[in-house]
Amino acid sequence: MEIKVLEFEALSLNQLYQSLRLRSQVFVVEQDCVYQDIDNYDQQALHILGFKDNLLVAYTRVFDPKTYTEQASIGRVVVHPDFRKQSLGVEIMQKSIEVLKSRGHKLINISAQCYLDQFYKDLGFVQTGKKYLEDGIPHQEMTLELNH
């Protein structure tokens, strides 16, 4: 998988389209979650895009502290349904963590869907808060401490 790290302004129209399409395909259609995905935070995010043969197969967006949450954060973690079970989620998350670590951040917060709890624990995240519903889906706040 070829991974690109781009600011919003650097995204091509095709890259932006593919990222919004993949997010909608999974977060709205697959998860039957009729909530607005586009939230006016994309402009402040760094976008981590994973491609295979020019097709977007994995994606996250990352934020510096005090942009989305008090700490650095990773969100909109998604792998194309046709490319799951190939460790692409791990690969895109490792790159996302590496990007935030290279920016000098010491802590990463995420809002993890509860069914992916073990996936995030395997990456070193720990539960830090109560479980809650977000857009009708159970979530868990988790944190990763970075060692520099």
Q: What is the pLDDT along the chain (148 residues), one digit of tens a residue?
A: 999 999 999 999 999 999 999 999 999 888 888 888 889 999 999 999 999 999 999 999 999 999 998 999 999 999 999 999 999 999 999 999 999 999 999 999 999 999 999 999 999 999 998 899 988 899 999 999 998 6
Q: Which one is the CATH code of 2-145: 3.40.630.30, 3.10.620.30, 2.40.40.20, 3.40.50.200? A: 3.40.630.30
> Which residues contact residue 15 at a Cβ distance below 8 angstroms, ignoring those fewer than 6 apart?
4, 6, 47, 49, 56
> Which residues contact residue 9 at a Cβ distance below 8 angstroms, ignoring those fewer than 6 apart?
none
Separation of CA 56 from chain center: 14
**Global pTM?**
0.94
DSSP 125: -
